[in-house]
Structure 1
Amino acid sequence: MKTPLSLYRGLPQPIYILFFSTIINAVGIFVYPFLALYLTRRLGYTALEAGTFMTVASVLYVPGSFIGSKLADTIGRKPVLVIFQLLMDVCFLVAGFFEGQTIVPYLVLFALFFDGAVDPAREALKTDVTTMENRQVSFSLIYLGHNIGYAVGPLIAGYLFQSAVRWIFWGNALAGFVATLLVMARIKESKPSQEVIEQSKGWKTTDKGEEGGLFKALLTRPRLLFFALSITFFSYAYSQTLFALPLLTSKLFAEDGASIYGKMMALNGLVVVLANPILVSLLRRYHPLANTTLSGLLYAAAFALFAFATKASVFFLLTILYTIGEIISATNEHYYVANNTPISHRSRFAAILPIIMGTGHAIAPIVGGTIIETSSMSMLWLSTAISAFIGSMGVFLLYLTEKKPKNT
């Protein structure tokens, strides 16, 4: 582990601040991993109703993302990140006081709207403070921080769900407040000046600035658009670990289902913590598109096997398998996108591309709920595996036609 961990030395200081902030925030991610169970077991929603709600929540993320991205590219990354993060935390804080009442889902919807505004600013900020040379490792470290926290958070939330449901909301809010205060105190504004943006339009690199608005700039990056469309098949597949997987464990293991799911999510985070630096060290020599193709194949294998799993031990083994795919995807996908995003449109690309890539995530709950109610849980997982395989083949096709891998 010594050699892989040495990758993280000498990175820009803001990356280390974002690393610690991400750990704190991730420890408190209590609400969303257990939202499907909360809606079905606490508020009495059917699987289809819960899936519909989660799809609506994902759609509401879109206007928040567009608003936040435009503001981040104009007034700056930091104020947008801080203001909307605090608004999201307030929503969760209030939801804790009204736990069990019909108003709670609406507060969650508002929280996810504000979360949509935060994400493009955060993505642009971490791209601003890195270069193509240190970007993959920097992104890997922040991703590692998320999973250090996530190795603990869902485990805590699994027990809170059984005994102190209000603290799922309050804990989420508290962690968010602390993480935001750290960013406020230690990170400076990073938005490139207009002078730098104008100079970048003459660069020969894949992140050179572009004239015009968002959609005009997008048309200059057709390969990036194809990549985003392929990744949406991944996002559909992976989203079932948040929607269908807790329902599956609850179905198979009854009252122990929530606890087992929490342990699976904790294992997911633990595997990332242990394997992330090793996998980055081993695979960084290969093209990010080739690595992303491999991640999709691992997803496909793991999700297909969920259709037949019946023992908790098998669920834990499959969690390790799909987590390896997740690590490879996360440490290559965002790296490829960032390196091919124009410096002039970073926040706006950080809004529109995740929306395209996250379309599968948005429709996954309602499609999953429909498949469960009209067919079976096994059919859901088989179709999920097919989705991951289709996405993998799309990325592989892009890899085969990549002309200048050294620029990506």
Structure 2
Amino acid sequence: MQKKTLSLKWLLLGSLITNTGISFIWPLTTIYMHEYLHESLTTAGIVLFADSLFMIIGNYLGGLLFDRWNRYYTTLCGISLATIATGFLIFFHGWPAYPLFLILSGLGNGIVATCINSFATVVAGRPASYVFNLLYFTNNLGLVLGTLIVGFILPYGITYIFVLAFSLFALFLIVAAITYRVDPIKNPINRAKAATQVLNRRSQHQIFLLLFTLFVTWVAYEQWQSNIAAYMVAHQMTVKDYSLLWTFNAVLIVLLQPILTYFDQFLLKHLHGRMYLGFTLFASSFALLLIAKSYHLFILAMGVLTIGEILALPAVSTYVDQRVTLSQKGRYQGLVNVFASAGRAVGPLVGATIIESSSYQLVFLLCVCSILLATVFFALGNRTTGEKQTNNQ
């Protein structure tokens, strides 16, 4: 029987399972293709780019179908695609089967990510900002658990990794099939009337300024996940030192995100300031990298980045949710994921191109300037829109 609302615990469980399953597979792609399948690093990079591209397609498709078709079946289709593709990887993980099923899994997970974000806007009894904070926590917890487990399982063979990922996706498919059959509209209204609601041009302008800022931020963030490792090694630090930075990142998120969730009402009242501060801290972390020569400065930069991350990134979805109409929840949450995925896709390539033609210092400087400029334009757009709305009242 169809329920009226989706329970928060099932949404968070879905987020945790999905991100744990993804983190079993995605981080291993480059190593597996290069060391086991004996493909070049360039080929591995192309496959990762294709995976990101199909995840973007899944993000957009998920939002479109969530709004215009059926929310329950859209979610199940996404999970089923990821489950089937991962199931095939258990038996067919050579070349070219591995990249094919990896990309199909990325498409399914892109759909699922948007559906989870879209359902988050309509969980009963909790404001969307509170739910997005918790989702950000479970997303990162899943990534931490996944990468931790992989380290213990991989020595026994890659097949066991795919078995675990398949089992998790299959579990989520069962959970979603039972618990996600809901009507997520908090305040039931005429659906035909909802479908005709159109977002005004000023709100669209605001949202796309923010999404551009999100894109720029993720392009910069990807430097931490790709090119900064080589930069640290060049400064006589080890790969272990680099990996410990991400352990520090994960610990900070796990410790600080629940605190932010506790102060959700205060942060919701100061949503714009929260984002401005978060994006500014993001930029500041790269300013620190400009002068970082010792390991403690890299730790400090990562700490500043992480605080900026937990302030800004969950707030983006909340901001978008506040401005869209009921019939456009899925589409715009899909666009949030699209712009983030696009930044993740092009970030390593952009950074590597600049580094090869110039220097790491230029990359860091461009990251500082681009994030700050994008944030300023977004802030100006907010102020202008606010003034116009006030004048129209």
Q: Same fold (TM over 0.5)?
A: yes
C-alpha spacing 1:381/1:43, structure 2 compared with 1 (3 Å): farther
1:27 and 2:20 equivalent?
Answer: yes
Secondary structure at 2:24 match in 1: coil
Which residue of 126, 130, 139 maps to 2:120?
126
Are positions 1:273 and 2:257 aligned together?
no
Superposed displacement of residue 152, structure 1: 2.5
Corresponding position of 2:77 = 83
1:394 aligns with 2:369: no
> For each residue in 1:141-167, what CA deviation from the matched residue of structure 2 results, as whole angstroms up to 9, or x when unmatched?
222222233333223335556774444
Structure 1 CA distance for aligned equivalents of residues 168 and 241 of structure 2: 24
The correspondence for 1:211, drawn from 177, 196, 199, is 196
Percent identity at matched positions? Answer: 21
Any residues of structure 2 matched to 1:146-157 within 5 Å, and which?
A: 146-157=139-150
Alignment correspondent of 1:136: 129
Cα shift readout 1:240-278 (whole Å, capped 9, x = no counterpart): 333334555677789x62x55554434323211210132
Match of 1:343 among 316, 322, 326: 326
Query: CA 1:169/1:322 → structure 2, altered by over 3 Å: closer, same or farther?
Result: farther
Structure (1/2) with the larger helix percentage: 2
**1:279 maps to amino acid:** L
What letter is aligned with 1:140?
Answer: N
Whole-angstrom CA distance in 1 between matches of 2:185 and 2:366: 44
| 1:35 Cα deviation from its structure 2 partner | 3.6
TM-score calculated relative to the size of structure 1: 0.78
CA distance in 2, matches of 1:162, 1:247: 25
Cα pair distance change 1:15/1:193, threshold 3 Å: closer
Question: Residue 284 of structure 1: which of 248, 267, 275 is its match?
Answer: 267
Change (3 A) 1:376 1:269: same
Aligned equivalents of 1:192, 1:24: Cα separation in 2 = 25
Q: Take 1:98 and 1:314, find their aligned partners in 2: how far apart are those partners?
A: 44
Q: Determine if contact 1:47/1:369 at 8 Å carries over to the other structure.
A: no
| Code of the aligned partner of 1:265 | W
SS in 2 for 1:196: coil
What pairs with 1:5-404 in structure 2 (closer than 5 Å)?
A: 14-28=7-21, 29-39=23-33, 50-99=44-93, 101-130=95-124, 134-158=127-151, 164-192=157-185, 196-198=189-191, 209=194, 211=196, 217=199, 219=201, 221-245=204-228, 248=231, 257=239, 261-280=242-261, 281=263, 284=267, 286-306=269-289, 309=292, 314-403=297-386
Change (3 A) 1:261 1:39: farther
Q: Distance in 2 between matches of 1:168 and 1:62?
A: 24
- One-letter code of the match for 1:186? T
Residue ranges of structure 2 left out of the alignment (5+ in a row)? none
SS of 1:31's partner is helix
Distance 1:288 1:195, change over 3 A: closer
Per the TM alignment, residue 284 of structure 1 is displaced from its structure 2 partner at its CA by 0.9
Deviation at 1:292, TM superposition (A): 1.0
Deviation at 1:16, TM superposition (A): 1.8
Structure-2 separation of matches of 1:221 and 1:267 = 37
Kept in 2: contact 1:70–1:348 (CA 8 A): yes
Write the distance in 1 (CA, Å) between the matches of 2:348 and 2:50: 10
Q: 1:185 to 1:365 in 2, by over 3 A?
A: same
Shift of 1:326: 1.0
Deviation track 1:163-208 (CA, whole Å, cap 9, x = no partner) reads 7444444433332222332232333323449971458x6xxxxxxx
Q: Across the two proteins, how many residue pairs are aligned to each other? A: 381
CA displacement at 1:402 relative to structure 2: 4.9
Q: Aligned-pair distance for 1:125?
A: 1.5
Counterparts of 1:247 and 1:40, CA distance in 2: 18
Q: How far 1:353 moved relative to its partner? A: 4.1
Question: How far does the alpha carbon of each residue in 1:48-67 deviate from its partner, in whole angstroms, 9 at most, with x for none?
Answer: 55444433332223333343
Give distance in 2, aligned partners of 1:375 and 1:117. Answer: 38
Distance 2:42 2:111 in 1: 27
- The CA deviation at 1:333 is 1.0
**2:51/2:106 contact within 8 Å kept:** yes
